[in-house]
Amino acid sequence: MQSLSPRVRALGAAGVCLLIAVAAGLAVDSRLDRHWVLRGVTAFLAICCTTLLLTDQTRRLRQIITAVGLAMFGVVIPVTQTTWSKPPEIKFALQVATDAKAAAEKASRSSVSVADVKAAAEARGGEIGSPATEKSPQVRGADAYPLIVRAKRDQGRPWACLSFAGLDAKVRPC
């Protein structure tokens, strides 16, 4: 590794970071918001750190700082975004979406109805719609897309929003 020039090592590190960023982005379920803007910004910052490593080989401190930036923006942030992309409420909403789609396909329909989602959520012990409280007595997100999906009937926040376009589900925090 010592025989390689610092520029070649920097380019290799940039390539590995970009590969990790793309792989981490594609590892997230396609029904989820993949945070492409944030992923793009972190990839851009990793490229900026690589550029600094390529252009300025004079100061050791600057090399260390840009190498740490490259590791953070090219490895740590993309991997943690992927790992944290499915909290329990999102996992529950994805399961409900899968069940509702299966029910619509079984009934030979080309779209998923709100009733399908409600039945799937209730079958898994959850509920759709915001809970009625003293402060907010009106239930929201229970009769039209995007639906609010709660993993437990008595659960307040956090919850997930679920919408369908035909048989294609989109799940996001709400």
Q: Where are the alpha helices (DSSP H) in the chain?
A: 6-26, 36-55, 60-71, 77-83, 88-106, 114-123
Q: Collect the ranges in the chain with pLDDT lower than 50.
A: none
Sign of CA dihedral 87, 93, 94, 96: positive
The pLDDT, as a whole number, for residue 32 is 64
Residue 46 tokens, joined: 């990793």
Indicate the DSSP class of residue 148.
Answer: E
Query: Residue 19 and residue 147: Cα distance in Å, rounded?
Result: 35
The pLDDT, as a whole number, for residue 30 is 61
DSSP SS3 for 59: coil
The pLDDT, as a whole number, for residue 104 is 87
Query: Residue 26 and residue 150: Cα distance in Å, rounded?
Result: 26
The pLDDT, as a whole number, for residue 17 is 73
Q: Is the pTM of this model over 0.85?
A: no
* Other beta carbons within 10 Å of 173: 14
What dihedral angle (degrees, nearest 10) is formed by the CA atoms of 92, 93, 95, 96? 120
